[in-house]
Amino acid sequence: MIPLPTGLRARLVITFTLVAVTASLLVATIGYELAKEALVNRAETTSIDLVTRELGSITFPVGKLRQGEAAPTSKELNRVAHALSGPGRSVLVEYQSLIAADGPMSMSDVPNELYGRAKQSVVIQRKIIRSRLYLIVGAEVYRVNGGKAEATGLRAFVFFPLHDDESQLATLRATLAQTGTVIVLIALGVALLSARQVLLPVRRLSAAAQALGQGRLDTRLPVHGQDELAGLTARFNDAAAALELSVSELRSLEAMSRRFVADVSHELRTPLTAMTAVADMLSDEADHLPEAPAQAVRLVLKEIERLRELVEHLIEISRFDAGTATLNLEPVNVADAIEDCLGVRGWSEQVTVRASQGLTANLDPRRFDIIVANLVGNALKHGEPPVVVSARATENGLEVKVRDHGKGIPREALPHVFDRFFKAGAGRARSQGSGLGLAIARANVLLHGGTISVRPQNPGTLFTVWLPHK
């Protein structure tokens, strides 16, 4: 099946060409039919006039003979046949039992219908005889006798060849076909040129829209004329200007928001440091306090730790938002880096590590530590043991997997686990983490040029990190 063209240019060209072809065919057909009718009418009129004139000039007596008149002889009939003949013609003259012929035709070539109608008037008929087209004119001679016209029985049949007329029509057909072809080609060229002129503003609008989509919000188009496309171009410029203004305002608000978060986070660091120092002192004394004050102290310590983690995460996120996060790559022993990450946080006894000691990769050690810490911390907080961390070299990078064996993340939450402040489950909104750990892990992975993904397991959840060779 031939696919239909879908482009506006193709449809315009096809429509324009079809109109031109239809008009050419219509004009050519009408012209050909008019020319054909004129040629046929001319041939018929000329033939009838010739036959009528020659038969009207007969001087010998025919029909009902008067006193003293002798019946016509074969010689007289032959003279009539010769008078009616001409180049390419064939003539038959019949009178009673006499037949005079001039040419190759015989009475068997005369159509029966024409033969019968020739008794009443001058009749004509076209017929193909021996692969050639002839116009046959048949007529009977009438003679006035006593003031009344009477049939004489003398009939003549003249075969006029139409070969020259057919040749003229064939030449006319060829000329019309050539002219039509030229007209169609001209129409096609005009259609292509017109389509190009019509679609040029559309292509400019398309290119401008693409430029807007790529972030070039200052894109504008010149407005020419006062037609519909000019109006559309003007509306596009207005929309682009409004979009540029809106995006500029949004960027300004976003920058203010980022700056506010960064400033607040940094400002919280100083009191948080003091609170942490006091909390450490209270932690040492909590075991010597009565139950109620000791429980309050522990609660305060827990909330201070959550606040410290949240502030650190906010500061880290603000670095990525500001575009100041950089990589400091160096060769890293992956197994040692993972063990150090777990040991510093006191997780070594809770996590199983599967990585060969000889495995090394070119990484930013601090950011790799953040990636592993956030993934393992998420597994310990929200999953169940055993938590397994495995690392292996692939053909073009390093693959690190972190899996827990808990209830797993709901499937509807999987597409959002790396979103900021997203927490799966209503009960986790207050007590479990900052909601930024996985977002920070993903940002650090992307900074390395890698990928991170999550898949449900049975049981548990599997996070997979791939970091390319640097």
**pLDDT over 80 at 301, yes or no:** no
CA distance 176 to 420: 76
- Lowest mean pLDDT of 40-44, 308-312, 331-335, name the range: 308-312
Q: What whole-number distance in Å separates Cα of residue 137 and Cα of residue 386? A: 114
Give mean pLDDT, residues 302-306: 75
Q: Report the predicted TM-score, pTM, of the whole model to 2 decimal places.
A: 0.47
Tokens matching residue 10: 């193709």
Task: Name the band, by pLDDT with cuts 50, 70 and 90, for residue 118.
Answer: confident
Establish whether the linkage from the previous residue to 459 is cis, with ω within 30° of 0: yes
CA angle 342, 346, 349 (to 5 degrees): 80
The pLDDT value recorded for residue 4 is: 55
Class of domain 326-468: alpha beta
Q: pLDDT tens for residues 239-269?
A: 888 888 888 888 777 777 667 666 666 666 6
Measured CA to CA, the distance from residue 400 to residue 393 in angstroms comes to 9
Look at residue 164 in the predicted model and tell me its pLDDT. Answer: 86
Most confident of 9-13, 75-79, 286-290: 75-79
Cα–Cα nearest to 447, from 320, 338, 341, 321:
320
Percentage, residues of the chain above pLDDT 90: 23
Domain ranges of the chain: 8-169, 224-324, 326-468
Cis peptide before 222 (omega within 30 of 0): no
Tell me: the pLDDT tens digits for 370-419? 999 999 998 998 888 899 999 999 888 999 999 999 888 888 888 888 88
If residue 56 lies in a helix (H) or strand (E), which one and from where to where?
helix 8-56
Give dist(CA 71, CA 63) in Å, integer: 8
pLDDT digits (tens, 9 = 90+) for 87-99: 889 999 999 888 9
Residue whose tokens read 């000039």: 57
pLDDT averaged over every residue in the chain: 83
Over residues 181-226, the pLDDT tens digits come to 888 888 888 888 877 777 777 788 888 888 888 888 888 888 877 7
Question: Domain 8-169 belongs to what topology?
Answer: Beta-Lactamase (3.30.450)
Answer with the residue of higher pLDDT: 316 or 232.
Answer: 232
Q: Could you please report the per-residue DSSP string of 235-258?
A: HHHHHHHHHHHHHHHHHHHHHHHH
DSSP secondary structure letters along 152-212 = EEEEEEEEEE-HHHHHHHHHHHHHHHHHHHHHHHHHHHHHHHHHHHHHHHHHHHHHHHHHH
Tallying the residues shown for the chain, one arrives at: 470
**Tens-digit pLDDT profile for residues 334-343:** 999 999 999 9
Contact between 402 and 389 (Cβ < 8 Å): yes
pLDDT, tens digit, for every residue of 413-451?
888 888 887 776 544 444 455 678 888 889 999 999 999
C-alpha angle with apex 363: 360 to 369, nearest 5 degrees?
100
120 phi and psi angles, rounded to 5 deg? -105, -35
What is the predicted pLDDT for the residue at 5? Answer: 59
Q: What percent of the chain is predicted at pLDDT more than 70?
A: 91
**At a CB cut-off of 8 Å and minimum separation 6, what does 207 contact?**
none
pLDDT at 260: 64
Q: Tell me, what's the pLDDT at 264?
A: 66
What is residue 431's predicted lDDT score, i.e. its pLDDT?
Answer: 47
- Band (pLDDT 50/70/90 cuts) for residue 309 is confident
Q: Tokens for 339?
A: 């063990």
Spatial separation of the C-alpha atoms in residues 98 and 114, rounded to whole Å: 19
Least confident of 123-137, 279-293, 379-393: 279-293
List Cα–Cα distances, 237 to 221, 242, 243, in angstroms: 7, 9, 10
14-28, 130-144, 300-314: segment of lowest average pLDDT: 300-314
Output the pLDDT for position 430.
Answer: 45
- Measured between alpha carbons, how far is 399 from 393 in angstroms, rounded to an integer? 6
- Beta strands (DSSP E) in 410-460 are 451-456
Q: pLDDT, tens digit, for every residue of 137-191?
A: 999 888 877 778 888 889 999 999 988 888 888 888 898 888 888 888 888 888 8
- The secondary structure of residue 356, as a DSSP letter, is -
User: What is residue 433's predicted lDDT score, i.e. its pLDDT?
Assistant: 59
Q: Please tell us whether the domain made up of 224-324 is placed in CATH 1.10.10.10.
A: no
Whole-angstrom Cα Rg for the chain: 53
